[in-house]
Structure 1
């Protein structure tokens, strides 16, 4: 995987601040598929509907949680189509970087497509956690 200098710097900053966002790609044969790929204790966002395609996972608990002010730096801005929140806290996906604009709530225990009317499909640019 080739990263631009900006992406590399963003990744280093996230690692230095304790952010442990993980990007997962295709599923090996016999492994879980769809939403089932999301491990307990994480919010997972998927690039396709119904938990399909590659996904990004964020740890979420009461002692620490992960946020990303600019998903574009990770190659995930305006790319999310579904989610599964298996953490104990809620997350909000914002339309713009820096947690700006309208937001889509992904509550603890929530799972689904961004919106049946496609209002939120491929629209999220930052993610924030709430308790």
Structure 2
């Protein structure tokens, strides 16, 4: 009888371990990947593709000091800050093309799609 009880306890313990190992929530996707108080840009439409997350901006997306792969490769954004952000086709905040206000996510306007080389709060 003692062996049967130990076997049952081991089975219950194994089941409990499986339940504990199961994920409790799914990973965020799309625009939901953008954390609070940040500007996020995405290489694909509707928050898809690679993500770049910014607190203050980037003077040169091609220089390799910030997220890589974003220069002239941005198709959507989500602004989770309280202010607007400006997007520029050239480095050093030159060649203004678009302003993204606070709120939900959006695809870039055609004039800004895949041409952005710098961005900042404005």
Task: Work out whether the TM-score is over 0.5.
Answer: yes
Structure 2 CA distance, aligned partners of 1:77 and 1:44?
Answer: 14
In the alignment, structure 1 segments of 5+ residues that lack a partner are: 1-28, 60-65
Residue 71 of structure 1: aligned partner: 61
Larger radius of gyration: 2
Count of residues paired in the alignment: 94
Task: Give the superposed CA RMSD.
Answer: 1.5
Residue 52 of structure 2: aligned partner: 56
Structure 1 CA distance, aligned partners of 2:120 and 2:40?
Answer: 13
Aligned structure 1 segments of 4 or more residues deviating by more than 2 angstroms:
none
Residue 102 of structure 1: aligned partner: 96
Please state if 1:126 is matched with 2:122: no
- Structure (1 or 2) with the greater helix fraction: 2
TM-score between both structures, scaled by the size of structure 2 = 0.71
User: Structure 2 residue aligned with 1:32, among 22, 28, 35?
Assistant: 28
Residue 42 of structure 1: aligned partner: 38
Structure 2 CA distance, aligned partners of 1:37 and 1:106?
Answer: 18
> Are the aligned partners of 2:57 and 2:119 in contact in 1 as well (CA < 8 Å)?
yes
- Structure (1 or 2) with the greater strand fraction: 1
